[in-house]
Amino acid sequence: MRLCYRTVCLSDIHLGTKSCKAEYLVDFLRHLSCTTLYLVGDVIDLWRLKRSGWYWPAMHNEVVRQLLTLAQSGTRVVYIPGNHDELLRDYAGTQFNGIEVLPRCFHLCADGRQVLILHGDEFDAVVCANPWLSALGSLSYDALLGLNHLINSGRRRLGLPYWSLASYLKSKLKNVGDYIAAFEQAILHSAHRHKVDGIICGHIHHPALRQESGVLYGNCGDWVEHCTALVEDHQGQWSMLAWITDSVRLLGGIQATEPIPTSTV
């Protein structure tokens, strides 16, 4: 079986951690051919490697090898760093072994829709402040985005790891659903602001694909738990795949209105 797509988006692979499902990803990549592959952040968990020592089994090397093979055989591979691999943000605009590094990226779908692809950690501060946002309006929304950036570039200069307000809040919140809803609202708000037809992101390890108020919301999920990918066919139709065994399960195209329940993937 060969998987042929126009575009594939993967995020939150977390190479360098024990929880990375590298063997599933290698299997997926071996079956894959596509025109463009977006790696939507937290691909290599550089902070974990730095904090808890080097963990790099042969299978993680094999993931890298498969990605380089795709790049060398004509696939455009774009690496958009996330917060766990933010050190690579310094290399935005450069290429290594045919892989482009970009901070975020606009993607033109086959059907003419314009989609913004980004990791999503830039929304952490917004998510935390969400209860007050509706009262304060979008001016403060922009200010919060700036604040999140300022705090974390300051921490970075001090050699401190990225601090995710949102993960903190997520760990404190009894209802994770509230957190996910706040994140998704922030993303949708940003889509309207950027005047794009959709946003594809990662970061919260919650795979999703749906159309909301005329905007496509896609979350790649992760390769720690869900083993999911967002794929675009040659007509511009997006679908969510979960690659858990050697068979692929199509979990719904853009008409699907519900995120995948964790229990089924």
Binding site for Mn ion (CB under 5 A): 42, 82-83, 121, 203
Smallest gap from residue 191 Cβ to Mn ion (A): 19
Residue 42 or 100: the one with the smaller Cβ distance to Mn ion is 42
In angstroms, rounded to a whole number, what is the distance separating the alpha carbons of residues 127 and 179? 7
Residue 82 or 218: the one with the smaller Cβ distance to Mn ion is 82
Smallest gap from residue 88 Cβ to Mn ion (A): 13
Strands 114-117 and 198-201 turn out to be: parallel
Strands 99-101 and 76-79 turn out to be: parallel
Where residue 214 falls (left for φ over 0; alpha for ψ -120 to 50; beta otherwise) is left
Residue 122 or 232: the one with the smaller Cβ distance to Mn ion is 122
Smallest gap from residue 202 Cβ to Mn ion (A): 6
Nearest residue to Mn ion, using CB? 203
Smallest gap from residue 85 Cβ to Mn ion (A): 9
Residue 82 or 207: the one with the smaller Cβ distance to Mn ion is 82
Smallest gap from residue 203 Cβ to Mn ion (A): 4
Residue 205 or 210: the one with the smaller Cβ distance to Mn ion is 205
Contact between 216 and 198 (Cβ < 8 Å): yes
